[in-house]
Amino acid sequence: MAGAAGPGTGPVAAGGDGDDSLYPIAVLIDELRNEDVQLRLNSIKKLSTIALALGVERTRTELLPFLTDTIYDEDEVLLALAEQLGNFTGLVGGPDFAHCLLPPLESLATVEETVVRDKAVESLRQISQEHTPIALEAHFVPLVKRLASGDWFTSRTSACGLFSVCYPRASNAVKAEIRQHFRSLCSDDTPMVRRAAASKLGEFAKVLELDSVKSEIVPLFTNLASDEQDSVRLLAVEACVSIAQLLSQEDLEALVMPTLRQAAEDKSWRVRYMVADKFSELQKAVGPKITLNDLIPAFQNLLKDCEAEVRAAAAHKVKELCENLPPEGRETIIMNQILPFIKELVSDTNQHVKSALASVIMGLSTILGKENTIEHLLPLFLAQLKDECPEVRLNIISNLDCVNEVIGIRQLSQSLLPAIVELAEDAKWRVRLAIIEYMPLLAGQLGVQFFDEKLNSLCMAWLVDHVYAIREAATNNLMKLVKKFGTEWAQNTIVPKVLVMASDPNYLHRMTTLFCINALSEACGQEITTKQMLPIVLKMAGDQVANVRFNVAKSLQKIGPILDTDALQEEVKPILQKLGQDEDVDVKYFAQEALSAVAQRLRKLDFPAKDSEEPSAPGADKNHFLRPRGPGEDTGKFVPLMSRHTQSERLGWFPRRQ
């Protein structure tokens, strides 16, 4: 950001300020010593401002030493500092002076809190790139070495992340030293350090010469992969992906595969899980031949692992694994070596496993083609559609489009229906919500007749669901269906049912009618709106619940553009004027909003504007969004309670997963 400030502009800027220049550092020091963490944090976040004000030279000679000396603070402040320093090169005078930033970052890289340390390492990595090769050897590499031989584990952990950035640009002698340090960290006696080293092993291998990879990295890898702690071993699996990419097939077979085979059968499920989780990456890294010989059998074992976690992770990878197999012979391999295991998983005892499989299994149909799908996969889909766990069924239905491409959805429709009906009534509203979202897609694929017979009643039932989010989604769903099936269909099947709800004893259902009208009017067009919907809306203006009344006002505003001038002038306006005098403030407010919108529309339609008494105060528009609605404004009436109710229904449940 301040990279443009070369050494040239620095002195000029710093020199010109006179007394002013004393000022920033004084503020900073004052603020950094403040008792309030927030203030200390603020001043640290403005560090670049201060540095800029000071100029590069004084930043180097005063600010940085000050920061280095005062590093003892709340972790939050340190985190901000570590982050800031990463972008400071320009502010200290460019690459030639980048090394000035190392001392404070070095201290930050040794603190206890992981977040701070990681950020310091990230900044150090960034800065390392800005060093000249000479400066790198003179300043950066010694820092890495100091960290690598630190007393407390934190500094050694941080060092692990710095080897790979300085190695490529170091001279051969220094390279040897760096490798030596890395080696010793890989066998550190603190597991935290070994974990850090294991997690950087792949990254480090990539910057090493091939010979060193073979002679040094591979033994380290083998050691880490047989570490006594499973948390270390599982990280070695990750490194395996990077290392495998570097080696020839022959070396791979000799140097890496024995370890990988062992990892796939590790006694700790965490390691096996990792193998399953990284399977696609591993598959790509080792190439097709080893995949066939080694990985497929390993994968079979993972699919029937005794831990559900491992099986689920493997099940997730089924599709990717199949996709990545070489095209020739792929079908046979899948049919003979993978499918039998998948069949077992369909009736697994664990729902997470089944659900993981259900989320990818449909993808196999495109790979295997129509015949195989019908013969082998379809029975599995059907079984999963009848699964006792809603998530499994949902995952199948969400991926119907894959099968649709291959065999058409008709094949499935008979089994589909019971599954859909059950999901539509599932106890979890998120499941219901998800199935609603697939309705338009299903409707399109199944056709009007099928839909009317089987699914229409479901769609209407959702309108009276007890969860607002479902009612809302159901409303939108209707609109999409009307767009798909046309207005005539809407008039015959949907609209009458919606309008009946206008006289429901439950005010929430009455409001749903209004919401439906809002959503449907545009798709239904002027005639249906004027003749069928409008009378109902107008009738509801006399509702006893204020929420219904102000929603009438909102609906009238919403459908206004669809109505003709007669209806607006003769029917809508009088009602809105009446609502404008309502005893409830919210009703009044929305009625006035709507009135001004209607008036505007009438003017646009070139109607003589006689409505000077219209309360279209200029302020009304401005207030529209600001106006607090609901709580506190009224005394114990229905309105505030209601607006809180709809909100809490959504917000209250939201953070809770299923």
Contact 62, 14 (CB under 8 A): no
Candidate segments 20-28, 131-139, 314-322, 437-445, binder of another protein by CB under 8 A: 20-28
- Segment contacting another protein by CB under 8 A, of 3-11, 446-454, 486-494, 573-581: 3-11
Told to check if 70 binds another protein by CB under 8 A, we report no
583 binding another protein? (CB under 8 A): no
Residue where the block lists tokens 């030279």: 57
Q: For residue 635, what is the enclosing H or E element?
A: none
Q: Does 228 bind another protein (CB under 8 A)?
A: yes
Q: Which residue's structure tokens are 């109505």?
A: 563
At 459 the three-state DSSP class reads helix
- For residue 5, state whether it binds another protein (rule: CB under 8 A): yes
Q: Of these, 29, 31, 398, 577, which contacts another protein (CB under 8 A)? A: 31
Q: Which is nearer to another protein, 305 or 584 (CB)?
A: 305
Our CB check for another protein shows the closer of 35 and 488 to be 35
Helix ranges (H only) for 447-467 are 448-450, 456-462
If binding is defined by CB under 8 A, does position 177 make contact with another protein?
no
Quick one: 28 or 295, whose CB is closer to another protein?
28
Determine, following the binding rule CB under 8 A, whether residue 192 of this chain makes contact with another protein: yes
Q: Which of 29, 45, 49, 331 binds another protein (CB under 8 A)?
A: 49
Smallest gap from Cβ 196 to another protein, in A, equals: 10
Among 595, 591, 587, residue whose Cα is nearest residue 614: 595
Give 375's DSSP letter: I
| Stretch in the footprint of another protein (CB under 8 A) among 44-52, 508-516, 578-586, 614-622 | 44-52
Q: Looking at beta carbons only, is 45 or 480 nearer to another protein?
A: 45
Q: How many CB atoms lie within 10 A of CB 271?
A: 24
When binding is defined by CB under 8 A, the residue of 184, 190, 324, 413 that contacts another protein is 190
Footprint on residues 137-176 left by another protein (CB under 8 A):
152-153
- CB of 331 vs another protein, minimal distance in Å: 27
Cα(79)–Cα(74) distance, integer angstroms: 9
Q: Is 500 helix (H, G, I), strand (E, B) or coil?
A: helix
Tokens of 109: 């890289």
- Cα–Cα distance measured from residue 342 to residue 337, given in angstroms and rounded to the nearest whole number: 10
Tokens 């066998």 belong to residue: 187
**Token pair for 100:** 């000035």
191 touching another protein, by CB under 8 A = yes
Cα–Cα dist 85/223, whole Å: 36
Is there a contact between 602 and 609 (Cβ–Cβ < 8 Å)? yes
Q: Is 650 in the site for another protein (CB under 8 A)?
A: no
Site membership for another protein, residue 94 (CB under 8 A): no
Smallest CA-to-CA distance from 91 within 55, 132, 140, 44 is with 55
389 near another protein, rule: CB under 8 A: yes
Binding pattern for the stretch 348-377 against another protein, x by CB under 8 A and - elsewhere: xxxx--x-----------------------
Q: Which of 33, 428, 531, 624 binds another protein (CB under 8 A)?
A: 428
The DSSP line for 525-567 is HHHHIIIIIHHHHHHHTT-SSHHHHHHHHHHHHHHGGGS-HHI
- Neighbouring CB atoms inside 10 A of 65's CB total 13
State both tokens at 253: 């077979």
Tokens read off for 252:
């791979």
- By the rule CB under 8 A, 429 interacts with another protein: yes
Q: How far is CA 543 from the centre of its chain?
A: 43
* Piece in contact with another protein (CB under 8 A), picked from 187-195, 238-246, 518-526, 574-582: 187-195
Q: Is residue 121 near another protein by the rule CB under 8 A? A: no
194/573 with CB nearer another protein: 194
| N-terminal to C-terminal alpha carbon distance within the chain | 44
- List the one residue from 134, 173, 427, 626 that touches another protein (CB under 8 A): 427
CB 59 → another protein: shortest distance, Å?
12
9 or 70: whose CB is closer to another protein? 9
Helices of type H across 188-295: 191-207, 210-212, 218-225, 230-246, 249-251, 257-264, 269-277, 279-290
| Helix, strand counts (H, E) of the chain | 47, 0
Q: Does 333 bind another protein (CB under 8 A)?
A: no
**Among 277, 273, 275, which residue's Cα sits nearest to residue 309?**
273
The answer to the question of residue 39 lying near another protein (CB under 8 A) is yes
x-marked contacts with another protein along 71-90 as a string, rule CB under 8 A: ---x----------------
Q: Establish if 441 lies at the interface with another protein (CB under 8 A).
A: no
User: Which residues of the shown chain bind another protein in the complex (CB under 8 A)?
Assistant: 2, 4-5, 9, 13, 17, 20, 23-24, 27, 31, 35, 39, 46, 49-50, 52-53, 74, 112-114, 152-153, 190-192, 195, 228, 230-231, 267-270, 304-309, 311, 344, 348-351, 354, 387-389, 426-430, 432, 466-467, 653, 656
